[in-house]
Amino acid sequence: MEVSKKNAASKSGRVYLLDEIRGFAILCMVVYHAMFNLKYSFGVDVPIFFESWFDIIRDIFAGAFIFISGIMCRYSHDNVRRGAQCFILGMLITFVVPFFGSDIKFGILHMLGISMMIYGLLSRFLEKIPPIVGFSVFALLAAFTWNASNGFVGFGGSFRWVFPQKAHDVGVLYPLGILPNKFYSSDFFPLMPWLFVFLAGSFMGYWFKNGSMPRMFYNSHCKWLAAVGRATIWIYILHVPLIYGIFSLIFR
């Protein structure tokens, strides 16, 4: 990722802190999926990873990964192509993971692929919106739709709109977060709220790209973690069969 202000940018033109945060987030995701496989594929329970508070931590790191992906779309010259490639990889994983004792219907790659394509198709319109306005609107929409997969949208107890049962009965609206009965996916990131998290990040990307962020964002702090952050797509693709293979050797 390149920045335009030399006084803020790193010598290589990268925003190293974003790479490092993304690297840490993908490592946390690998650990979570490892614990998930231990419990549901091999019957080994690790209680701390399935406490309700840990779901909050999981969402924080997943949200950081998605938000940074939104920031990075500001640096791409063809988000539609990148999004299509990401979505195709997601579909390949959907067809392959059942062989490893899992099931992914609309995982993070599906969501990121659709989000990138939406941004790419609407970029001319979105770039006309003042960054602070765009960021605020999409952050509010993310908060408003945060509980979509729980069957409603709204702001806490002040306002709540529950999806009608007919919407759930349709059965194919789960990419939006409107789930049918007995829905299951071991990796699930619906467009509500995650598309809005991604788009909020895309407006934050304006300040990163023009070099307006503090210098610490452009300095290198941990080279190996930044390297992990630059290889997230391959780590995500390869870690599921690798983890399953290792656990198979250990427990079977």
User: Does residue 4 lie in a domain region?
Assistant: no
Instruction: Please state which of the ranges 34-38, 61-65, 147-151, 164-168 shows the lowest mean pLDDT.
Output: 34-38
Structure tokens at 213: 């962020």
pLDDT tens digit sequence for 155-206: 876 788 999 999 999 989 999 999 998 888 888 999 999 999 999 999 999 9
pLDDT of residue 10: 45
Instruction: Please state which of the ranges 77-81, 96-100, 229-233, 243-247 shows the lowest mean pLDDT.
Output: 96-100
- Residue among 110, 31, 124, 23 nearest 68 (CA): 23
Please provide the DSSP assignment of 160-225 as one string. EEEPPHHHHHH---GGGT-PPTT---SSB--HHHHHHHHHHHHHHHHHHHTT-S-GGGTS-S-HHH
Q: Which domain holds residue 131?
A: 16-251
Has residue 2 got a pLDDT over 80?
no
- Residue among 22, 23, 28, 26 nearest 201 (CA): 22
User: Does residue 2 lie in a domain region?
Assistant: no
State the average pLDDT over residues 32-40: 82
pLDDT of residue 13: 54
Categorize the per-residue pLDDT at 52 as very low, low, confident or very high, splitting at 50, 70 and 90.
confident
**Spatial separation of the C-alpha atoms in residues 221 and 8, rounded to whole Å:** 15
pLDDT of residue 4: 45
Please provide the DSSP assignment of 127-164 as one string. TTS-HHHHHHHHHHHHHHTTTGGGTEEEETTTEEEEPP
Count of structural domains within the chain: 1
pLDDT of residue 168: 92
State the average pLDDT over residues 227-232: 91
User: Does residue 52 lie in a domain region?
Assistant: yes
State the average pLDDT over residues 68-90: 93
Instruction: Please state which of the ranges 94-98, 108-112, 204-208 shows the lowest mean pLDDT.
Output: 94-98
pLDDT of residue 252: 67
SS3 state at 69: helix
User: Does residue 11 lie in a domain region?
Assistant: no
- Residue among 140, 201, 187 nearest 29 (CA): 187
User: Does residue 1 lie in a domain region?
Assistant: no
Higher-confidence position of 35 and 163? 163
Has residue 12 got a pLDDT over 70?
no
Instruction: Please state which of the ranges 90-104, 143-157, 181-195 shows the lowest mean pLDDT.
Output: 90-104
User: Does residue 5 lie in a domain region?
Assistant: no
Q: What percent of the chain has pLDDT over 70?
A: 92
State the average pLDDT over residues 60-88: 93
Has residue 70 got a pLDDT over 90?
yes
Has residue 9 got a pLDDT over 60?
no
User: Does residue 172 lie in a domain region?
Assistant: yes
* Long-range contact pairs involving 42-49 (C-beta distance under 8 Å, separation at least 24): 42/247, 42/251, 42/252, 44/251
How many helices and strands (H and E) does the chain possess?
9, 2
Q: Helices 79-96 and 232-251: crossing angle, nearest 10°?
A: 10
pLDDT tens digit sequence for 117-128: 999 999 999 999
**Spatial separation of the C-alpha atoms in residues 50 and 147, rounded to whole Å:** 19
Cβ–Cβ under 8 Å, residues 202 and 1: no
Structure tokens at 102: 């899992």
User: Does residue 9 lie in a domain region?
Assistant: no
Higher-confidence position of 87 and 210? 87
pLDDT of residue 47: 74
